[in-house]
């Protein structure tokens, strides 16, 4: 099996496995959140805030808290309406991918099922989005579980046999870590105050953390 790592990540991987391999992630036991990790959903939210509320200077960097009502200078009803629009079928289709998502997930999806656990209530539109993004991956290898509640993620992940999870929501990261999961935090403005986790800004940074050797043996 060829992992497809670029030279930089091959060197990082080589140095990693020559030393302590305990932190390497078995890709068969890895899962991902979607919004804020694979899908840059808040890019659409920010775009709508600018258009609908006239806040032309608003950017994702203003989203320094996970609670949007603390970040957007607008009535709660207006913020909720924009969030609902962001998650609608129409706008979900327009969401750009997070850095490295297509490349890294495309590689993984050739060898293992891609498992996604989202707090969205309805998974259909984001499932379709993933299938378009990962058009080279067998659709049967793209598995989405919608919990409707981030607090349920631990139970779902445990039943799936998942040990490692990539997440952006601070409270979920902390909760999963307390329950024994290996959590990688995907860097976003709303989680930069959260410490104690491996942090990545691009899913390509995850490649050197994956134990590709288990796929070579499979």
CATH number at residue 128: 3.40.50.1000
- Would you state the pLDDT for residue 6? 53
Looking at the structure, do residues 103 and 191 belong to the same domain, yes or no?
A: yes
Residues with a known catalytic role: 33, 35
Backbone φ and ψ for 16, nearest 5 degrees, come out as -65, -50
How many structural domains comprise the chain? Answer: 2
**Residue 135 belongs to domain spanning:** 7-40+97-217
H, E, C per residue of 154-192 = HHHHHHHCCCEEEECCHHHHHHHHHCCCEEEEECCHHHC
Please tell me the distance from the alpha carbon of residue 144 to that of residue 126, in angstroms, as a whole number: 9
Q: What is the pLDDT of residues 170-213, one digit of tens each?
A: 999 999 999 999 999 999 999 999 999 999 999 999 998 999 88
Contact 17, 101 (CB under 8 A): no
Beta-bridged to residue 146, according to DSSP, are: 118
Q: What is the pLDDT of residues 48-101, one digit of tens each?
A: 999 999 999 999 999 999 999 999 999 999 999 999 999 999 999 999 999 999
Of 28, 58, 92, the one marking the end of a domain is: 92
Residue 1 lies in a domain: no
Residue 74 lies in a domain: yes
């Amino acid at each position: 099996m060829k992992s497809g790592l670029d030279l930089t990540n091959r060197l990082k991987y080589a140095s990693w496995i020559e030393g302590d391999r305990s932190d390497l992630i078995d890709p068969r036991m890895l899962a991902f959140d979607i919004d804020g990790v694979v899908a840059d959903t808040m890019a659409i939210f920010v775009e709508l805030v600018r258009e609908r509320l006239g806040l032309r200077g608003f950017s994702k960097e203003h989203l320094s808290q996970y609670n949007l009502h603390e970040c957007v200078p607008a009535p709660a009803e207006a913020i909720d309406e924009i969030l609902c629009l962001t998650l609608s079928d129409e706008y979900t289709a327009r969401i750009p991918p997070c850095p490295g998502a297509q490349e890294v997930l495309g590689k993984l999806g050739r060898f293992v099922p891609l498992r996604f656990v989202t707090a969205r209530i309805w998974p259909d539109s984001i499932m379709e989005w993933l299938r378009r993004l990962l058009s080279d991956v067998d659709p049967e290898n793209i598995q989405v579980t919608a919990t409707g509640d981030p607090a349920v993620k631990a139970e779902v992940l445990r039943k799936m046999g998942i040990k490692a999870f990539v997440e952006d929501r601070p409270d979920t990261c902390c909760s999963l870590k307390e329950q024994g999961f290996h959590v990688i935090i995907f860097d976003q403005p709303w989680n930069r105050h959260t410490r104690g986790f491996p942090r990545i800004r691009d899913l390509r940074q995850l490649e050197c953390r994956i134990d590709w050797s288990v796929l070579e043996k499979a």
